[in-house]
């Protein structure tokens, strides 16, 4: 029994879960010459609505022009390209498309074709956006500035601190302090857990930045471990205003110290 291998290949390509089209750059405007069933199912267009058209009809108002230019340049150079692009279905529904375009050269015809393989990654992008938002909220919670009286706020530094988190703290609290007209910031290190040298140095250098802004920094909760971490660093604890606890610092402020 002889199998019609080409017919079998055609059937597999049509029924595969892959979403793809083929375009002909030798024709004017590089039109689609083939679209499989996966592509019509994804986009909502019928085959007769696709053939002979450039695939730019998938673009819409929010499609990134830079991504379009990147694709256009790769096609011009007949180079492979992979992008994430916001496309639109026939009914106007936007979807995130993971698009990979490959130039295929057929020696028999002595010409190139382009195969565009696509995947709907909308759910993934949505989940990624949620995770990014959660991370932003966590970062905000990791550096809360808590007002305790007029002109005085507390920054409780809790948990593991690395250089990245120190930078986030500095980036976030300086504008907030200026906005809220804070005169004194109590940085409470009693919740400091695991720290590295760069983070330790960054926390204490924060005082220099605050001083430039006209804000006094008081440090509370310095543990023996933190004190040990400052050894060998350019930090002179005796030059800083420190107290054992936030309560002690507030009391000292009330007494005019």
What is the rounded distance in angstroms from the CA atom of residue 213 to the CA atom of residue 93?
A: 49
**pLDDT exceeding 70 applies to what percent of the chain?**
75
Structure-block tokens of residue 169: 């703290």
Angle at which helices 163-179 and 197-212 cross, to 10°: 20
Residue 195 has pLDDT above 80, yes or no: no
Per-residue DSSP letter, 2: -
H-helix segments, the chain: 5-15, 37-43, 47-50, 65-77, 122-142, 163-179, 197-212, 224-229, 246-254
pLDDT tens, residue by residue, 25-75? 999 999 999 999 899 999 999 999 999 999 999 999 999 999 999 999 999
What is the rounded distance in angstroms from the CA atom of residue 188 to the CA atom of residue 181?
A: 20
Least confident of 54-63, 115-124, 135-144, 181-190: 135-144
Residue 232 has pLDDT above 90, yes or no: no
Q: What is the pTM of this model?
A: 0.54
Residue 131 — very low, low, confident or very high, per pLDDT cuts 50/70/90?
confident
Per-residue DSSP letter, 180: T
Q: Please tell me the predicted confidence (pLDDT) of residue 23.
A: 93
- In this prediction, residues 127-155 reach a mean pLDDT of 72
What is the rounded distance in angstroms from the CA atom of residue 63 to the CA atom of residue 65?
A: 6
Q: Please tell me the predicted confidence (pLDDT) of residue 1.
A: 40
Residue 110 has pLDDT above 80, yes or no: yes
Task: Please enumerate in sequence order all residues whose Cβ is within 8 A of that of 235, keeping only pairs 6 or more positions apart, or say none.
Answer: 200, 201, 204
Residue 175 has pLDDT above 80, yes or no: no
Residue 161 — very low, low, confident or very high, per pLDDT cuts 50/70/90?
low
Task: Please enumerate in sequence order all residues whose Cβ is within 8 A of that of 166, keeping only pairs 6 or more positions apart, or say none.
Answer: 198, 199, 202, 203, 206
Question: Helices (H) and strands (E) in the chain — how many of each?
Answer: 9, 12
Residue 137 has pLDDT above 60, yes or no: no
Q: Please tell me the predicted confidence (pLDDT) of residue 2.
A: 42
User: Which residue reads 């290949």 in tokens?
Assistant: 9
Q: Please tell me the predicted confidence (pLDDT) of residue 69.
A: 96
Average pLDDT, the chain: 81
């Amino acid at each position: 029994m002889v199998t019609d291998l080409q017919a079998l290949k055609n059937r597999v390509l049509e029924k595969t879960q892959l979403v793809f089209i083929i375009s002909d750059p030798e024709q004017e405007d590089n039109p689609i010459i083939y679209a499989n069933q996966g592509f019509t199912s994804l986009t909502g267009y019928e085959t007769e609505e696709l053939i002979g058209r450039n695939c730019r009809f998938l673009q819409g108002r929010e499609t990134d022009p830079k991504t379009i230019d990147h694709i256009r340049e790769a096609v011009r150079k007949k180079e492979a390209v992979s992008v994430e692009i916001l496309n639109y279905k026939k009914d106007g529904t936007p979807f995130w498309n993971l698009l990979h375009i490959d130039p295929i050269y057929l020696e028999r015809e002595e010409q190139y074709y382009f195969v565009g393989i696509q995947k709907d990654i909308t759910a993934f992008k949505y989940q990624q956006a949620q995770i990014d938002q959660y991370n932003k909220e966590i970062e905000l919670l990791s550096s809360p500035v808590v007002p305790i009286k007029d002109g005085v706020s507390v920054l409780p530094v809790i948990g593991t601190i690395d250089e990245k988190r120190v930078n986030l703290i500095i980036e976030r609290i300086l504008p907030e302090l200026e906005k809220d007209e804070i005169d004194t910031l109590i940085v409470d290190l009693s919740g400091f857990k695991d720290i590295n040298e760069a983070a330790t140095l960054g926390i204490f250098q924060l005082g220099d930045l605050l001083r430039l802004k006209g804000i006094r920094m008081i440090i509370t909760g310095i543990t023996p471990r933190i004190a040990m971490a400052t050894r060998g660093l350019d930090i002179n604890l005796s030059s800083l205003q420190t107290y054992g606890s936030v309560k002690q610092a507030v009391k000292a402020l009330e007494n005019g110290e």
